Structure 1
Amino acid sequence: MNTKETFTLHGENLLKKIKELIAEGNIRKITITDKEGKEIMSFPLTIGLVGALLAPILAAVGALAALIGECSITVEREPKAENEPKKEP
């Protein structure tokens, strides 16, 4: 079962947060909504989506960040495997 997590932030922090989430590597889908809850942008992240394929998505997120104020990011994460070792802090 996929888990969902929501973050509320301002547009200027949007691109930074998206890059952090992508770097985590276990993200399946990211949805960006405005403060009224209307979906603005949604994109899937498949395993192996890197470099040149991410550039247009990040450019669109950067342009969006310049236009909106407060927004929410909903992140759908891949389920962790039962036998996968837990990361220690």
Structure 2
Amino acid sequence: MGTKESFSINGENLLKKVKELIAEGNIKKITIADKSGKELASFPLTFGVVGILLMPVMAAIGAIAALVTECTITVERHDEETGAGNGHA
């Protein structure tokens, strides 16, 4: 199970904030909702997703940022104590 954290942010800072969160590296999923709470997009992220694989995600987030003035980002993080393995031999 991961931990969740939410940020209220305006559209012009959305892409910058998402890039910062992805750079942290422990993000499992990012969900973007409008100010009324309606989910606009949800992006699952895995370890090692970088560069060209993020381009479609960034393009979609850029499009959302152009359409909304205010939104909420909900970030689901991997728990720190869980390793790369899932406990199965």
> In the alignment, what sits opposite 1:10?
10
Shifted more, 23-32 versus 55-64: the winner is: 55-64
> In the alignment, what sits opposite 1:87?
none
- Count of residue pairs the alignment pairs up: 83
> In the alignment, what sits opposite 2:86?
none
Aligned identity (percent) is 66
- In 2 relative to 1, CA 81–40 (structure 1 residues): closer, same or farther, beyond 3 Å? same
Cα-to-partner distance string for 1:19-59 (whole Å, 9 max, x where unaligned): 00000000000000001100000010001111110011001
Alignment of 1:47-86 (within 5 A): 47-81=47-81
One-letter amino acid of the counterpart of residue 38, structure 2: K
> In the alignment, what sits opposite 1:28?
28
**Hey, which bits of structure 1, 4+ residues long, moved more than 3 A?**
none
Segments of structure 1 that go 5 or more residues without pairing to the other structure are 84-89
CA-CA distance at 1:62 after TM superposition: 0.8
TM-score (structure 2 length as normaliser)? 0.89
Q: Once superposed, what is the RMSD of the aligned Cα atoms?
A: 1.3
CA-CA distance at 1:82 after TM superposition: 7.0
Other structure's SS at 1:62 match: helix
CA-CA distance at 1:81 after TM superposition: 1.4
2:36 corresponds to 1:39? no
In structure 1, what is the Cα distance between the partners aligned to 2:41 and 2:5? 16
